[in-house]
Chain A
Amino acid sequence: MPGIGIAVIGIIIFALGYLYYSKFIAKHIYRLDPNFRTPAHQFNDGIDFVPTKKSIVWAHHFTSIAGAAPILGPAIAVYWGWLPAFIWVVLGTVFAAGVHDFGALVLSVRNKGRSIGTLAERLIGRRAKMLFLFIILILVLMVNAVFAWVIANLFVTFPASVLSIFIQIPLAVIIGIYFLRRGKGLLFPSLLALIVMYGTAALASGIPALQIDLVSYFGGENATVAFGIDAVSIAFLIWIVILMAYVYIASTLPVWKLLQPRDYINAHQLIIGLGILYLGLLVTNPEVTAPVTRSVDDVSWFPLLFITIACGAISGFHSLVSSGTTSKQLNKESDARLVGYGGSIGEGILAIISIVAVVTLFSTQEEFLSTYSSFTTANEIGLNNFIEGAAQLATGLFIPEAIAQTIVAVVVISFAATTLDTAVRLMRYIISEIATEYKAYALTKKHVATAIAVGSSMTLVLMPGDERGFGAGGYLLWPLFGTSNQLLAGIALLLITIWLRRQGRNFLVTFIPMVFLLAMTLLAMFSQVWFEWAWYGSDSNFLLFTLGAIILIFAVWICLEAYLLFKNDKTKALEDDDR
């Protein structure tokens, strides 16, 4: 089957989902009212609450939610063959992610632009707020650990990309300070920054002296550096320490100095990257060599597939973006359909190209099977395969493969680094908030909270390991990231369901995805915690057991809260929605 076929079928289903299903939901379930006065108009302060054109809100929302996660998840999940991953991405986007993102946006608009966390507190009480905070804490902790590991891994594998990434930091700061002070446009300076970055990447891929390759500095892969630790492990350790020092600084700076200008550069990268990959796919028209489905001995696809692909099918993180920022910028309530549902479709399109890039990379099926030899290996090499596959697609546009590989690595690392910055900053806020709740005011200070966030993330990424030393265990955390993300989505769907039920509308559109997600999370965590990571399990690991058990407890907690809410119908705490 040609790779174009997968992409075309996926996009057609997305289009049908948007045209018909989202229209049905907008009209009959969420009942959008174009005359409803949105929070952007009610509380217009020119800062947070700003009525904005829907196309601009959509673009902004899409660039906020799309990152490295919808690329990484599918690149791992093709281990079970391309069809399960493809079906989950397509159906998950249409029936779960769409209603989730769209619903979180509408619910927030109907409640003065409040965030999902605040709504949970109003609906269920302080208990729900703490549950919510702890789940986000676990989620961002996983994000920090996984993405620090991902970036370190890519720095070790693609040393030509390091220089470009480091050049991006001063370029972003210059754009943030110099150009805005003069009130000039951001478009050309940020495009110029991108050209400088890609130029550097092209040069570095041809000139070994420009490649910051720590492994070769220490004498190659087989060299032992110190205390019996080999060069690769030492390289990992050094990169992770450098990254953590960097995120400490980046997350304590004001956002307009570094984080935001970097987001502009990344917005270009997202659009250019998607354009190049889809055009390359059209020109090269590669054949799919991966198997359609595959039976494996080590890890069953059910239920692990549904937590391996979180972003790209459904992601709880989107509800935070929808309800925290986007809902305050919506000009009309009817715009929520394009922004919420359309934003998740955009993410789905990114996940589809990730699947296509990986399943068309190999020349034969045997090569695919030997590369994806086990689930652990799939976790480890998924992203590298995406980068190689994407580079192969880009060759269709006459970009040399070595240069394309470096540029794709730069794109993925940029996304991951921005996610890391944001997640550490978010973790800092949450630590402060939890500390305020428990009256531990010493922990609310900026540097104390950031030190805890960075320290715990670094411990987590360095702790789980095997005989390969530092950094070998980072990929073990990916399923945990998926589960915590799905739990967050479960909470958002629960709140939307409660709201719909109170309105006397059909709540099955959100209730069914919620039950499905919580069931999959419970199943996956239960099987992994009890049969794999426990002290008597097949792959005993105390750290993963503890984290998995915590997530499992949270999942059960959400189910209980949902049951109690439905039983007692205690839903008067929400705002009236003017109907």
Chain B
Amino acid sequence: MGFKDQLSRALAFYDEVLRLPHRSEIKRELRDEDDIFYLLSFSEMLGIPNPVSYYTLELYPEMVEEFHDWHLRMGMEKSPIDGIRCC
């Protein structure tokens, strides 16, 4: 391996060290935004009245994967929706 390769590998490593916390922080911010959207869509599952839940339920099959992670984060071990369930 030449000096140039070693240098570029060292720089890539260094860059990765810097990016690691930043990437997770950006992802965390995005996840928080997503969580708020899910809360607005499925707030009835947490006992908050939602006049449009009849319509937002239609979104459920589209986001079943993310929904599973969301209800776990919200402290519900099992999916609160009967019928088609994620777990």
Binding site for B on A (CB under 8 A): 45-48, 50, 52-53, 55-56, 59-60, 63, 180, 185-187, 190, 254-256, 260-261, 263-264, 267, 329
Contacts and interface: CB of A to CB of B under 8 A. Distances in A.
**Of listed B16, B18, B21, B22, residue having the most chain A CB within 10 A:** B18
A186 B31 CA distance: 22
Interface centre among B11, B17, B22, B24 (most CB of A within 10 A): B17
A47 B18 contact: no
A185 B15 contact: yes
B19 interface: yes
A50 B25 CA distance: 12
A186 B21 contact: no
Given A47-B31, A56-B16, A187-B15, A180 B26 contact: yes
Contacts of B22: 180, 186, 256, 260-261, 264
Interface SS majority for chain B: helix
B85 interface: no
Contacts of A186: 15, 18-19, 22
Nearest to A181: B26
Interface string B23-53: 0111111010000000000000000000000
> Which 10 pairs between the two chains have the least Cβ-Cβ distance?
A187-B15, A256-B25, A59-B17, A264-B18, A186-B18, A47-B24, A47-B27, A47-B28, A185-B15, A56-B17
B26 A60 contact: no
A175 to B, nearest CB: 10
A34 to B, nearest CB: 22
A48 B24 contact: yes
B7 to A, nearest CB: 12
Given A56-B13, A187-B11, A256-B29, A50 B24 contact: yes
A260 B21 contact: yes
A334 B71 CA distance: 33
Interface of B: 11, 13-22, 24-29, 31, 69
A404 to B, nearest CB: 24
Contacts, number: 54
Contact of A187 (B14, B21, B69): B14
B48 to A, nearest CB: 19
A190 B27 CA distance: 21
Contacts of B29: 254, 256
A267 B26 CA distance: 20
A134 B29 CA distance: 29
A256 B32 CA distance: 14
B43 to A, nearest CB: 22
Contacts of B19: 185-186
Nearest to A328: B24
A48 B20 CA distance: 10
Given A186-B15, A187-B18, A260 B25 contact: yes
A313 to B, nearest CB: 26
A43 to B, nearest CB: 10
Contacts of B20: 50, 52, 56, 60, 329
Contacts of A60: 17, 20-21
A59 B21 CA distance: 12
Nearest to A265: B18
Nearest to B11: A187
Contacts of A190: 18
Nearest to B28: A47
B20 to A, nearest CB: 6
A190 B19 CA distance: 11
A185 B16 CA distance: 9
A168 B15 CA distance: 19
13 contacts: A47-B28, A52-B20, A53-B16, A55-B13, A60-B17, A60-B21, A180-B22, A185-B19, A190-B18, A254-B29, A260-B25, A263-B21, A329-B20
Contacts of B17: 56, 59-60, 63, 267
Contacts of A254: 25, 29
A48 B27 CA distance: 10
Contacts of A264: 18, 22
B15 to A, nearest CB: 4
A256 B26 contact: yes
Contacts of B69: 45
Contacts of A59: 13, 17
Contacts of B25: 254-256, 260
